[in-house]
Chains A and B, each alone.
Chain A
Amino acid sequence: MHLTGWTVALTALGVVPAAVTQSREVAFWWVAAVIALALLDTWMAPPTASVGVRRDVPGSVRLTQSTRSSLLVANVGRRRVRGAVRDAWQPSAGADETRHRFSLARGETVTFRTRLTPTRRGDRHAGAVTVRTDGPLRLAGRQRSLDAPARLRVLPEFASRRHLPSRLRRLREIDGRTAVQLKGAGSEFDSLRDYVIGDDVRAIDWRGTARRGEVVVRTYRPERDRRVVVVLDCARLSAARVGDAPRLDASIEASLLLAALASRAGDRVQATAFDRAEQARAASSGPAFMTELADALAPVEASLLEPDWPAMVRLVESRVSQRSLVVLLTTVETSALDSGLIEAVGALQRHHQVLVGSVEDPELGSMLRARGDADAVYGAGAASRALLEREAVATRLRQLGAEVVLALPDDLAPAVCDRYLALKAAGRL
Chain B
Amino acid sequence: MTAPADLVVAPAGPGLAARARRGRLGIVAVALLAAIVALILLGSRGGDVVALSTENSRSTGARAVAQILRDHGVSVRQLDRLAQARVEDPAATTVVIAEPYLLGARQLEALAEYPGDVVLLGASDESLDALGIPATDEPVVIPRTEDARCSDPDALAAGTVRVSDEGLAATGDGVELCFLHGDAAGFGRAEVDGRTVTVIASAALVTNDQLDELGHAALALRVLGRHPEVVWYVADGFDSSLLTWGADGSRPTGEAPGSIDAVPDFLPPGTGTALYALALTVLVAAVWKARRFGALVAEPLPVVVRASEATRGRARLYRKARAAGRSAASLRAAAALRMGRRIGVPRSEGRDTLVAAIARASGRPAQDVDRLLYGPPPADDEALLTLISELDALESEVHRP
On A, residues with C-beta under 8 Å from B are 1-5, 7-8, 11-12, 14-15, 18-24, 26-28, 30-31, 34-35, 47-49, 51-55, 72, 74-76, 84, 86, 88-92, 99, 107-109, 120, 125-132, 143-148, 239-242, 246-247, 301-302, 304, 361, 363-364, 367-368, 371, 373-375, 377-388, 391, 395
Q: Which of B357-401 contact A (CB under 8 A)?
A: 381, 384-385, 388-389, 392
Inter-chain CA distance A91–B301, complex, in Å, is 11
| Choice from A18, A143, A241 contacting B274 with Cβ under 8 Å | A18
Q: Which 3 A-B pairs have the closest CB atoms?
A: A381-B327, A130-B294, A52-B7
Chain A residues lying within 8 Å of B12, measured Cβ to Cβ, are 47, 49
B273 touches A27 (CB 8 A): yes
B288 touches A4 (CB 8 A): yes
| Choice from B273, B293, B330, B389 contacting A24 with Cβ under 8 Å | B273
A374 touches B319 (CB 8 A): yes
A378 touches B327 (CB 8 A): yes
Chain B residues lying within 8 Å of A89, measured Cβ to Cβ, are 297
B273 touches A19 (CB 8 A): yes
Chain A residues lying within 8 Å of B347, measured Cβ to Cβ, are 391, 395
B4 touches A379 (CB 8 A): no
Among A3, A49, A377, chain B packs the most CB atoms within 10 A around the CB of A377
Is B25 among interface residues, defined by CB-CB distance under 8 A? Answer: no
- Using CB atoms, name the residue of chain B closest to A144: B10
- Using CB atoms, name the residue of chain A closest to B284: A11
**Given known contacts A76-B7, A129-B8, is B297 in contact with A381 (CB within 8 Å)?**
no
Is B112 among interface residues, defined by CB-CB distance under 8 A? Answer: no
For the complex with contacts A382-B327, A384-B333, 18 further pairs of A-B residues with Cβ separation under 8 Å are: A3-B288, A4-B288, A11-B281, A20-B270, A27-B277, A51-B9, A52-B8, A72-B7, A240-B307, A367-B315, A375-B315, A377-B327, A377-B381, A377-B385, A380-B327, A380-B388, A384-B330, A386-B310
Inter-chain CA distance A55–B382, complex, in Å, is 67
Contact pattern, B 270-289, Cβ under 8 Å of A = 1, otherwise 0: 11111011101100110110
Inter-chain CA distance A143–B292, complex, in Å, is 10
Chain A residues lying within 8 Å of B381, measured Cβ to Cβ, are 374, 377
Is B171 among interface residues, defined by CB-CB distance under 8 A? Answer: no
B8 touches A146 (CB 8 A): yes
On B, residues with C-beta under 8 Å from A are 1-4, 6-13, 268-274, 276-278, 280-281, 284-285, 287-288, 291, 293-299, 302-312, 314-315, 317-319, 323, 326-328, 330-331, 333-334, 337, 347, 381, 384-385, 388-389, 392
**Given known contacts A127-B297, A247-B307, A382-B315, is B331 in contact with A31 (CB within 8 Å)?**
no
Q: List 10 A-B contacts (CB under 8 A).
A: A8-B281, A12-B278, A15-B278, A26-B273, A84-B293, A126-B297, A363-B308, A379-B311, A383-B315, A384-B334
A239 touches B388 (CB 8 A): no
Chain A residues lying within 8 Å of B318, measured Cβ to Cβ, are 378, 381-382
**Given known contacts A11-B280, A11-B284, A28-B280, is B306 in contact with A241 (CB within 8 Å)?**
yes
Chain A residues lying within 8 Å of B298, measured Cβ to Cβ, are 90
Inter-chain CA distance A324–B389, complex, in Å, is 48
Write the nearest CB–CB distance from B217 to chain A, whole angstroms.
42
Chain B residues lying within 8 Å of A19, measured Cβ to Cβ, are 268, 270-271, 273-274, 277
Among B13, B270, B277, B306, chain A packs the most CB atoms within 10 A around the CB of B277
- Using CB atoms, name the residue of chain A closest to B287: A3
A368 touches B308 (CB 8 A): no
Inter-chain CA distance A35–B287, complex, in Å, is 11
Among B294, B297, B326, chain A packs the most CB atoms within 10 A around the CB of B294
**Given known contacts A128-B294, A147-B8, is B389 in contact with A371 (CB within 8 Å)?**
yes
Among B304, B308, B347, chain A packs the most CB atoms within 10 A around the CB of B308
B302 touches A246 (CB 8 A): yes
- Using CB atoms, name the residue of chain B closest to A93: B297
Chain B residues lying within 8 Å of A364, measured Cβ to Cβ, are 308, 311
How many A-B pairs with Cβ below 8 Å?
Answer: 241
B294 touches A385 (CB 8 A): no
Inter-chain CA distance A52–B12, complex, in Å, is 12
Chain B residues lying within 8 Å of A132, measured Cβ to Cβ, are 293
B288 touches A239 (CB 8 A): no
B299 touches A381 (CB 8 A): no
Write the nearest CB–CB distance from A95 to chain B, whole angstroms.
10
Write the nearest CB–CB distance from A298 to chain B, whole angstroms.
14
Write the nearest CB–CB distance from A236 to chain B, whole angstroms.
9
Among B273, B285, B334, B337, chain A packs the most CB atoms within 10 A around the CB of B273
- Using CB atoms, name the residue of chain B closest to A32: B280
Inter-chain CA distance A379–B291, complex, in Å, is 51
Chain A residues lying within 8 Å of B319, measured Cβ to Cβ, are 374-375, 378
**Given known contacts A19-B271, A31-B280, is B314 in contact with A382 (CB within 8 Å)?**
yes
Inter-chain CA distance A171–B269, complex, in Å, is 90
B288 touches A5 (CB 8 A): yes
Chain A residues lying within 8 Å of B278, measured Cβ to Cβ, are 12, 15
Write the nearest CB–CB distance from A297 to chain B, whole angstroms.
15
Inter-chain CA distance A74–B4, complex, in Å, is 8
Inter-chain CA distance A24–B1, complex, in Å, is 53
Inter-chain CA distance A385–B297, complex, in Å, is 44
B284 touches A109 (CB 8 A): no
Chain A residues lying within 8 Å of B291, measured Cβ to Cβ, are 1-3, 143
- Using CB atoms, name the residue of chain B closest to A377: B388
Write the nearest CB–CB distance from A381 to chain B, whole angstroms.
3
Write the nearest CB–CB distance from A251 to chain B, whole angstroms.
13
Write the nearest CB–CB distance from B311 to chain A, whole angstroms.
5
Chain B residues lying within 8 Å of A301, measured Cβ to Cβ, are 302
A379 touches B315 (CB 8 A): yes
Inter-chain CA distance A360–B3, complex, in Å, is 56
B277 touches A30 (CB 8 A): yes
**Given known contacts A49-B10, A381-B326, A395-B347, is B311 in contact with A24 (CB within 8 Å)?**
no
Write the nearest CB–CB distance from B4 to chain A, whole angstroms.
7
| Choice from A20, A131, A239, A382 contacting B303 with Cβ under 8 Å | A239
Inter-chain CA distance A130–B306, complex, in Å, is 38
A27 touches B276 (CB 8 A): yes
- Using CB atoms, name the residue of chain B closest to A128: B294
Chain B residues lying within 8 Å of A379, measured Cβ to Cβ, are 311-312, 315
Chain B residues lying within 8 Å of A84, measured Cβ to Cβ, are 293
Among B6, B274, B291, chain A packs the most CB atoms within 10 A around the CB of B274
Inter-chain CA distance A383–B6, complex, in Å, is 59
Write the nearest CB–CB distance from B340 to chain A, whole angstroms.
11
Write the nearest CB–CB distance from A370 to chain B, whole angstroms.
10
- Using CB atoms, name the residue of chain A closest to B305: A240
Chain A residues lying within 8 Å of B7, measured Cβ to Cβ, are 52-54, 72, 74, 76
A88 touches B334 (CB 8 A): no
B273 touches A48 (CB 8 A): no
Inter-chain CA distance A75–B3, complex, in Å, is 7
A90 touches B308 (CB 8 A): no
Chain A residues lying within 8 Å of B277, measured Cβ to Cβ, are 12, 14-15, 18-19, 27, 30-31
